[in-house]
Structures are given as structure tokens and as C-alpha cells.
Amino acid sequence: MTLDQEFLDTVFPAERTDAFFDALFGGAEEGAYDIRLVCRKVEDNKAELAFELHQRPGKCLACNLTYGLPQVFQRHPVLDVPGTVKAVAARLGWPENSPWKLGSTQEYSRELHCIPLFIQRG
């Protein structure tokens, strides 16, 4: 089974970004970026995905503290990374309790930062 973008957009919908900033700051308009889940590669026993942080118009992604985000993403109930991992694991035919971890924030450009998501087949 593949992790096509349509499936990933269903598992981690765009609206989740606004809900995250609403919970964090009391308003979605305060957010400096949009979050999108993408697939980098899938192998027999592991998958590498990433949460892409795309700078919003008129905002400064580079000025935000994106380097502490993996810890925030790991625990934040609105983002629900554990639930996202369960859905991805199920799609791949892997056990729901497949272990996962978030990597450190990677800066690809001033407009795009990524947080890697690694899932091991349980």
C-alpha cells in the first residue's frame, strides 16, 4: 500500500494547522506557517514522512522558534501525531503500535522547514 498525498491530506488535514494555532495562541491568524504531512520514502520495515512547515504570506518562518517544535508536536493533542502514526501504520498493514519518533527541525529555505517523522514496522 502506498502513502499518496490524498491519503496523507485526509490523515493530517490542512485545517489542523489553524486548530493548532487557535489552541496555541487563541487565534489561527497568529500562525506563521501551514503544516502539511508528506511521505519521503517507505521501505519494508520503516517509513520516513515529514511535517512540512510552509511560511504563510506576510509572516516570517525564519523568525519563529521552529527548532523546539518536535517536542511540541510530539505532545500536542490537536496535532495528534500518535493518531496520525496509527492511521499511517494501518494503511501500510503494520501494527497500530508501531514505534515512531520525530527528528530535529530541518531548514530547507527561509520559507520551508521540515520535521521528519520516522515510523518502524512494529
Percentage of the chain exceeding pLDDT 90: 79
Residues 38-81: tens digit of each pLDDT: 999 999 999 999 999 999 999 988 766 677 889 889 999 999 99
β-strand partners of 102: 117
**pTM for the full model?**
0.93
Contacting residues for 78 by C-beta, under 8 A, at least 6 apart: 16, 19, 20, 23
Q: Which is higher by pLDDT, 2 or 70?
A: 70
Residue 92 Cα distances to 15, 74, 115, angstroms: 24, 21, 21
Q: Which is higher by pLDDT, 70 or 100?
A: 100
What is the DSSP code (8-state) at residue 64? S
Mean pLDDT of 20-45: 92
